[in-house]
Amino acid sequence: MAKSIRIRAKAKGGEVAVKALMTHPMETGLRKNKKTGKKIPAHFIQEVVCKHNGANVMTAQWGAAVSKNPYLSIVLTDAKKGDTIELSWVDNKGKSDSAEAKVK
């Protein structure tokens, strides 16, 4: 699962836009498997943390209503070129992943 996050951070006009795409099924737990009729168990990202140079700038808590392969974008005002942005997630099964990017 090491490559489940694609993250980009770009400086523009004194602000840094952080954009991230995560690969995750985001199952709601309400969908049924059409062949067996059984419910597909819920499997979704619950928490996403974004750090700027090691300091936490955003913690998002998600429900299952966030779309499959989630996209997230935030804007940082105190960041500059060369800074490190780290993004990590934890899902409801306790799996997690993280990725880093330098601000361009």
Partner 1 sequence: MQRRTFLQGSLAGGAVAVAVGAGLLSPRGVLAAWPESAFSAKSVQDAMSNLFGSADSKATDEIKIKAPDIAENGAVVPVSVNTSIAGTNKIALIAEKNGLPLAASFNLGKGTKGFVSTRIKMGKTSDVIAVVEAGGKRFSARKNVKVTIGGCGG
Residues near partner 1, by CB under 8 A:
15, 28, 30-32, 34, 38-39, 41-43, 46-47, 52, 55-68, 70-79, 90, 92-94
Minimum distance, C-beta of residue 63 to partner 1, in the bound complex (Å): 4
Nearer to partner 1, 93 or 104 (CB): 93
Minimum distance, C-beta of residue 41 to partner 1, in the bound complex (Å): 5
Minimum distance, C-beta of residue 95 to partner 1, in the bound complex (Å): 9
What is the sign of the dihedral through the CA atoms of 93, 29, 58 and 23?
Answer: positive
Minimum distance, C-beta of residue 66 to partner 1, in the bound complex (Å): 5
Nearest Cα to Cα of residue 71 among 21, 6, 27: 21
Q: How far apart are CA 101 and CA 39, in angstroms?
A: 37
Nearer to partner 1, 2 or 14 (CB): 14
Q: How far apart are CA 56 and CA 48, in angstroms?
A: 11
β-pair type (96-102, 5-12): unpaired
